Chains A and B, each alone.
Chain A
Amino acid sequence: MALLRIVEVSKAFGDLVANDRISLSLEAGEVLALLGENGAGKTTLMNILFGHYTADSGHIEVGGERLPPGATDAALAAGVGMVHQHFSLADNMTVLENVMLGTERLWSWRSETAAGRKRLLTLAADFGLEVDPDTPVGALSVGERQRVEILKALYRDARILILDEPTAVLTPQEVERLFETLKAMVAKGLSIIFISHKLHEILAVSDRVAVLRRGRVVGEVATAEADREGLAELMVGHKVSRPMVEHLAPGDPVVELEAVGVAPAGRGRPLLERVSLEVRAREILGLAGVAGNGQSALAGVLSGVLAPSSGTLRFAGEAVTRFAPRDFVARGIGRIPEDRHATGIIGEMSVWENFICEDLGEPPLFRWGRVIDGRACRDLAAELIAAFDLRCKSMEVPAKLLSGGNMQKLILARTLRREPRFILANQPVRGLDEGAIAAVHARILEAKRRGAGVLLISEDLDEILALADRVAVIHGGRVGPALEVGAVTARELGAMMAGDLGGAGEKLPEAVP
């Protein structure tokens, strides 16, 4: 008897069929991995399960009983808990308050805090999810916040826990710890749906894998019988080829940072502290680190939106004094921002308008330096759309309607068409599907072959190890020495990401021949 049954669920948005007669079941004490590219229908399915959307047809059963469609409270009452990729926690409240929020009866005189605290501590001990109940959530690390989210679900008696891309923000060590927690949960009879696109994690943690493609279940296999290549092919629909990385002889430094520091907005620790690094032509320098360790400040300095409070930045040997994005673009710096939606595109503007946002006023796209030449801009857009295989209904649709991969292609096209000598790629493939990841990586490697230097900031060690020539680790606003990728293991990097930089900040990074 399955604990959860998804029966023939279909859902369409206009012409787009997001879910096409999907049937899945989940046994008690099982980890089911849901694998699929972005846009395969995973999120829609989970939103139907959780009552955010109503299915066009089909239904959901929990423990043999049908869930009323579109009722989130019914899903919660039936024991379905969800941990979203982006946490929904109140930063200014304590862990305990966050966990209890919404669970207390509205018309009760007494506060149930004492009982809640006891219950929280028991749950935390049972599942290895230690957090201090009285710390404000704002002061916690990302890994700890995730623990709070899981505790929130457990506190509500979740029997089925849905985790949406849970490892995206964690260090390798934290991932291992999360997997131990998941195993403890399964041992206690809970069931888990684990949504991910990282194949090795799915292979490590799940019992069964369901693969979604274009709204349909295209395969369901026991993990023991699955292999990496087979799953990847099933997910994408065709063979996936990893881009070939070739090591080229690096050229002169294109970007040099010397003891760069960034003071915090208010009190507190500096965002960057005596950071020195060097990116040379024809090389990719990977910058690994857990989110929130100064990557944003470093990217801000290198994008020209943040002026450092100390130190020097040299570009092609020339010291930069004016920190302004327009100047940076003109100098030949290409910038791929961390958050596509928030910084990369202007959502309600059309696709073609988003191509020209770094060129405002420049001929030939603008006449008399002021007036948009609609034809020239559209011609350019058509050219770039074709060259970068950007899929969209028309270049007149708002850019926010593009899928993540196509949005990233838009940003890449806009950046790379200027043939920049230095590229800042900040989380360039976060949230993208396999096909798009391969396309983005191929473009970055191509730029490197052309002679550009690339700084690849990523939280995904696998990405860095696959792509970069050298790697450095950022922690607490300080950057360790850059090491040859072949000479360092993921575990060593993991230790550095947790804070053991080995005397960084005091000395310049060693020059590597």
Chain B
Amino acid sequence: MRTEPREDAPLWLLVVAPLAAVAAALLLCAGLILWAGESVPEAYGLLLKGAFGSRFALTETLARATPLILTGLAAAVAFRARFWNIGGEGQFYCGALAATWLGAGMILLPPLLMIPLLFLAGALAGGLALLLPVLLKARLKVDEVVTTLLLNFVILLLVSYLIEGPWKDPMSLGWPQAAPIVEEGVLPKLLAKSRLHLGLVVGLVAALAVWLVLRFTVWGYEIRAVGINPQAAAFAGISINLTVLRVALISGGLAGLAGVGEVAGLKGYLTLDLSPGFGYAGIAVAMLANLHPLGVILSAIFIAGIYVGADSMSRAVNIPTYIADVIVATSVLAVLVSLLFVKFRVRFGG
């Protein structure tokens, strides 16, 4: 078996490749389900039903997809410029921190002003969390993978300190959590009797905006150029440092928006388990979407569906919810492999 580079890939292949990859991942994971002694069609049927099979399931999946769209965009836009922001989790909490700081009693404004203010503050905080890594990268060439990753833990410890100490809600019966967001700051629900909140709209608008910016503006051109060929970009007169700074602010800002959405839309108050790793999962979302901003929406819904569906499946059959992590991880790997098939032609035999 040999591979040869492909001159240009046909459109059908670009569409079929990721779908085939997901199918392959599900097929591979079927082995684990068999190993657990359950029927594969039944397990996947339950998973599908649990993710998309009812109004409740659907709204739950979309509610779960909301932060994933934003953290997925954060990773996608940064990776487009080859800025490896692994700090989505930390920036998510920075957004949540900013929303809590302003929204848990510091200011009172009518919702029409209050909610945009919270999002703005969250985006700003998320973006500023990347300032240090960007400066270190630009001035001292420090690898941003290391700095952004480690900053996650610093920020989590800061959150921990605040909600155990100065920000601890006196009404929380001793639980480490901050005071709730005031009513004016709580995001409106999109549907009655569901957890679906305004954050989803923010996510969808953000995805559309990122796509438009990347495709049609000078900023987007610069971001793509720096990601593809920084040397040629610099030669043409594009400032690499400025572009990276801009990308970092956008990326951190998007992750910060996710944090605001969760604290003000879903949970209502800041805790240490506000995010079950949304920042990290965003990387998987972005990879699955091949860094395409609109693809991020679909891949976020897919991944959210797997998690929500696996929860419901594990209640019915004897398969632990960890299967969701395995399916997501396998899907990402399968998509990466499928990209090879898009880029290269495979020939068998001599």
Residues of A within 8 A of B (CB): 13-14, 16, 53-54, 68-70, 303-305, 324-326, 329, 335, 337, 342-349, 353, 356-358, 360-361, 366, 369-372, 374, 397-398, 401
Contact = CB atoms under 8 A, between A and B. Distances in A.
A275 B4 CA distance: 47
B130 to A, nearest CB: 23
B262 interface: no
Given A325-B234, A358-B237, A360-B222, 15 more contacts: A53-B4, A68-B350, A70-B350, A329-B237, A346-B225, A346-B232, A349-B228, A356-B221, A357-B238, A360-B218, A360-B221, A360-B236, A371-B216, A371-B218, A372-B216
A interface, over-half SS:
loop
B210 to A, nearest CB: 15
Contacts of B218: 360-361, 366, 369-372
Contact of A305 (B217, B222, B224, B235): B235
Contact of A401 (B7, B216, B237): B7
Max count, chain B CB within 10 A of own CB: residue among A54, A346, A349: A346
Given A54-B2, A360-B237, A346 B347 contact: no
B interface, over-half SS:
helix
A324 B236 CA distance: 10
Contacts, number: 83
B232 A342 contact: yes
A361 B236 CA distance: 13
A326 B224 contact: no
Contacts of A325: 234-237
Interface of B: 2, 4, 7-8, 216-219, 221-222, 224-225, 228-229, 231-238, 347, 350
Contacts of A372: 216-218, 221
Contact of B237 (A324, A366, A370): A324
A397 B7 CA distance: 10
Nearest to B224: A349
A208 to B, nearest CB: 30
22 contacts: A13-B4, A16-B7, A69-B350, A305-B234, A324-B237, A325-B236, A325-B237, A329-B237, A337-B235, A342-B229, A345-B232, A346-B225, A346-B229, A346-B233, A349-B225, A357-B232, A358-B236, A360-B221, A360-B238, A366-B218, A369-B218, A401-B7
A357 B236 contact: yes
A204 B17 CA distance: 53
A342 B236 CA distance: 12
Contacts of B235: 303, 305, 325, 335, 337, 343-344
Nearest to A327: B237
A13 B6 CA distance: 8
